[in-house]
Amino acid sequence: MRTAIYPGSFDPVTNGHLDIISRATKLFDKVIVLVSVNPIKPSSFSIQERKELLIKATSSLENVEIDSYDGLLIDYFNQKKADVIIKGLRAMSDFEYEFQMAMANKKLQGEAETIFLTASSENTFLSSSMVKQIAMFNGDISAFVPNCIHEQIKLRLKR
């Protein structure tokens, strides 16, 4: 049984994340989507809210589990005896940051391999912070977030 962990802030989950999750479910027996804490990045949604949105967005996918962890990703990886860490890459601009994290995780735990899935072309520009900005100014985010949570995100971010 091959288990992948897909960690992120998911603040909130977007169609770009959902695309990576659904493609990862075809490659691994189990995909744990982990709401992780980046202590130096302020968030708009609570961990609980982010988990609830992810649960709704992934309800049609069978081999997905949603969890959260307030600690080092690598400690969670070891606890779960996971096989790989999955990350999405949108553009070259993501590469340096993601490369640093993959290297740091590998330094902390030599067995921790990070696998990158490239974003689908229609999602290369998409980010949670862009979705938040558009929603805060009452713009239309329906093309950027899963349909089933679109209204909830819109209402939550409306100023």
CB of 131 to ligand PNS, least distance (A): 13
> Active-site residue 107, yes or no?
no
CB of 138 to ligand PNS, least distance (A): 25
The answer to whether the bond into 7 is cis (omega within 30° of 0) is no
> Active-site residue 150, yes or no?
no
Instruction: Name the active-site residue from 26, 41, 81, 159.
Output: 41
**Residue in 11, 7, 14 with CA at minimum distance from that of residue 146:** 14
Footprint of ligand PNS (CB under 6 A): 7-9, 36-38, 41, 72-74, 101, 104-105
Q: State the CB neighbour count (10 A cutoff) for residue 158.
A: 10
Choose between 62 and 110: whose C-beta lies nearer to ligand PNS: 110
In the DSSP assignment, the letter for residue 121 is: G
Choose between 28 and 76: whose C-beta lies nearer to ligand PNS: 76
Instruction: Name the active-site residue from 30, 68, 128, 132.
Output: 128
Choose between 25 and 68: whose C-beta lies nearer to ligand PNS: 68
150 CB contacts (<8 Å, ≥6 apart)? 141, 142
Q: CA-to-CA distance for 53 and 49, rounded, in angstroms?
A: 6
> Active-site residue 17, yes or no?
yes
Q: Give the tokens for residue 17.
A: 């994340």
Choose between 13 and 141: whose C-beta lies nearer to ligand PNS: 13
> Active-site residue 159, yes or no?
no
Q: Look at the alpha carbons of 92, 145, 72, 1 in this order and tell me if their dihedral is positive or negative.
A: negative
CB of 123 to ligand PNS, least distance (A): 14
CB of 128 to ligand PNS, least distance (A): 7
Locus of tokens 């969890």: 67
Which residues are catalytically annotated?
Answer: 17, 41, 90, 128
